[in-house]
């Protein structure tokens, strides 16, 4: 999604300057073109040679360098699609907010007509200082964007807000700025992910092996493409995708209560959660003791969320998942028809192709004409991209009919 986008990475003089090298590597992995500009103080923390080796491009440090470009701050300002400032110090914030152009980086920010994204890093007291916050307000009013710093132990030993945001958060912010008009912009997508847990007593529950990785990958990819994403998640051990609204639930009934009121205003629903079909009919208070042994657990059926959405479907595109151990194609087709789905993704649920808890999966995509597309075993983020490609085609076909 960021292929050939031009990012000018501005590095200013803070202890977090070394982390800009990893950001550079990550941008290059995303197939961005990266040019680095450093302040003089940044060069005291990390050398220009490091960034030159990573990018394969010269690193600019001086306002008047005697290079082929006689006015480097103007030529550099015209080059990028985005100016990314990592780390952004309180000094650079103050100079830019006051319109100063007393070094190359400050001058090109002033001369640029492209989005500017700041990733601040500084001592927590400097960050919270009213003067710094006022500078941020002025820059936001001028159209600049910010990645909020994290909280934790700082280089000086203080603990608080001011740490440079995580690499993933910065990259997600870059994507959000550069991919503002993706094909899914303006669409509302509701995604369910992970397992549900149905309590048996105060300690035990009925559940399954779903990791939630597929649903989270779909949410991240949909957000990258400009969609407004709501992620309703069962209990998982995954970080929430940046820019995605997330609602955490435990049981199938809790998921039902969140999903169904949102369904009428949603354009696409991707039901990737592994929702328990049954729950214990009674929840024992406290811990159920081993003796006397209980030979059976009476069960009752959970609401079938996907079936109910299929019944109520009007304008929505509805996508479901199936986990099967054998006869994948006929089982997938039967479930797609029974639940009125536009697309179903069928996972292997056993053997070497088992998708549960795995980072990779080999899946089948079955559309509303029962055409089957088999994907190779690959990372779930790659699978998510292909699924969303197919959904974009469905949206285009739907619009053409209207």
The DSSP result for 9-32, as a single string, is EEE-SSGGGGHHHHHHHHHHHTT-
pLDDT at 24: 95
Domain final residue, candidates 112, 147, 178: 178
What count of other Cβ atoms lies within 10 Å of the Cβ of residue 298? 9
Enclosing domain of residue 389: 188-401
- Please check the confidence at residue 390 and state whether its pLDDT lies above 80: yes
- Please check the confidence at residue 93 and state whether its pLDDT lies above 80: yes
* 58 and 197 together in one domain: no
For 302-318, what is the mean pLDDT? 95
For 311-326, what is the mean pLDDT? 93
Give the residue numbers marked as catalytic: 156
For 30-36, what is the mean pLDDT? 91
pLDDT at 381: 87
pLDDT at 90: 94
CA dist., res. 274 & res. 212, Å (int)? 8
pLDDT at 180: 57
Give the C-alpha distances (Å, rounded to integers) separating 299 from 78, 98, 262, 278. 66, 67, 28, 6
For 246-253, what is the mean pLDDT? 97
pLDDT at 326: 84
**Is the bond preceding residue 379 a cis peptide, omega within 30 degrees?**
no
CA 311 to chain centre: 31
What pLDDT band is residue 1 in, cutting at 50, 70 and 90?
Answer: low
* 161 and 220 together in one domain: no
- Please check the confidence at residue 99 and state whether its pLDDT lies above 60: yes
For 279-300, what is the mean pLDDT? 82
pLDDT at 311: 96
- Please check the confidence at residue 174 and state whether its pLDDT lies above 70: yes
CA dist., res. 208 & res. 354, Å (int)? 13
* 44 and 167 together in one domain: yes
Residues in the chain, total? 402
For 57-75, what is the mean pLDDT? 69
pLDDT at 353: 65
Poorest-pLDDT segment among 131-145, 241-255, 267-281, 356-370: 356-370
> Which CATH number goes with the domain that contains 49?
3.40.50.1950
What pLDDT band is residue 69 in, cutting at 50, 70 and 90?
Answer: low
Long-range own/partner contacts, residues 307-310 (CB < 8 A, 24 or more apart): 307/338, 307/339, 308/256, 308/260, 309/259, 309/260, 309/263, 309/269, 309/271, 309/339, 310/338, 310/339, 310/340, 310/341
* 121 and 155 together in one domain: yes
Structural domains counted in the chain? 2
* 120 and 232 together in one domain: no
- Please check the confidence at residue 65 and state whether its pLDDT lies above 70: no
Tokens 């080999």 belong to which residue? 362
* 279 and 299 together in one domain: yes
Return the percentage of the chain with pLDDT > 90, whole number.
59
What pLDDT band is residue 271 in, cutting at 50, 70 and 90?
Answer: very high
CA dist., res. 30 & res. 386, Å (int)? 17
Domain final residue, candidates 178, 211, 232: 178
pLDDT at 313: 95
> Which CATH number goes with the domain that contains 234?
3.40.50.10300
CA dist., res. 90 & res. 223, Å (int)? 30
Tokens 């400032």 belong to which residue? 85
* 154 and 77 together in one domain: yes
The alpha-carbon radius of gyration of the chain (Å, integer) is 25
CA dist., res. 106 & res. 73, Å (int)? 9
Give the C-alpha distances (Å, rounded to integers) separating 81 from 12, 22, 71, 77, 120. 20, 20, 19, 9, 20
pLDDT at 293: 63
pLDDT at 285: 85
H-helix or E-strand containing 127?
helix 124-128
């Amino acid at each position: 999604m960021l292929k050939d986008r031009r990012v000018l990475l501005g590095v200013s003089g803070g202890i977090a300057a070394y982390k800009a090298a990893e950001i550079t590597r990550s941008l290059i992995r995303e197939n961005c073109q990266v040019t680095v500009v450093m302040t003089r103080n940044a060069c005291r923390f990390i050398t220009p040679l490091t960034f030159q080796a990573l990018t394969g491009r010269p690193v600019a440090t001086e306002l008047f360098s005697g290079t082929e470009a006689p006015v480097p701050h103007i030529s550099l300002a015209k080059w990028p699609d985005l100016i990314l400032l990592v780390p952004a110090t309180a000094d650079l914030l103050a100079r830019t907010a006051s319109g100063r152009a007393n070094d190359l980086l400050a001058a090109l920010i002033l001369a640029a007509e492209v989005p500017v994204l700041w990733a601040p890093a500084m001592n927590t007291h400097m960050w919270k200082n009213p003067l710094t916050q006022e500078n941020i307000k002025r820059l936001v009013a001028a159209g600049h964007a910010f990645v909020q710093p994290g909280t934790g132990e700082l280089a000086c030993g203080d603990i608080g807000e001011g740490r440079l945001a995580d690499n993933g958060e910065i990259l997600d912010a870059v994507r959000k700025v550069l991919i503002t008009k993706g094909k899914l912009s303006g669409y509302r997508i509701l995604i369910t992910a992970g397992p549900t847990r149905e309590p048996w007593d105060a300690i035990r529950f009925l559940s399954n092996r779903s990791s939630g990785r597929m649903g989270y990958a779909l949410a991240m990819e949909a957000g990258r493409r400009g969609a407004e994403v709501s992620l309703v998640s069962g209990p998982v051990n995954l970080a929430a995708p940046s820019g995605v609204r997330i609602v955490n639930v435990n049981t199938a009934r809790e998921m039902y209560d969140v999903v169904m009121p949102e369904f009428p205003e949603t354009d696409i629903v991707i039901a990737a959660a592994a929702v328990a079909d049954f729950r214990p009919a009674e929840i024992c208070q406290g811990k159920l003791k081993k003796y006397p042994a209980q030979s059976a657990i009476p069960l009752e059926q959970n609401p079938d969320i996907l079936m109910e959405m299929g019944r109520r479907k009007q304008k929505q595109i509805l996508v479901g998942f199936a986990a099967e151990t054998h006869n994948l194609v006929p089982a997938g087709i039967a479930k797609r028809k029974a639940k009125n789905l536009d697309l179903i993704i069928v996972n292997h649920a056993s053997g070497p192709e088992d998708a549960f808890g795995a980072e990779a999966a080999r899946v089948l995509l079955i559309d509303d004409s029962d055409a089957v597309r088999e994907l190779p075993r690959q990372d779930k983020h790659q699978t998510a991209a292909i699924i969303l490609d197919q959904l974009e085609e469905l949206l285009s076909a739907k619009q053409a009919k209207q």
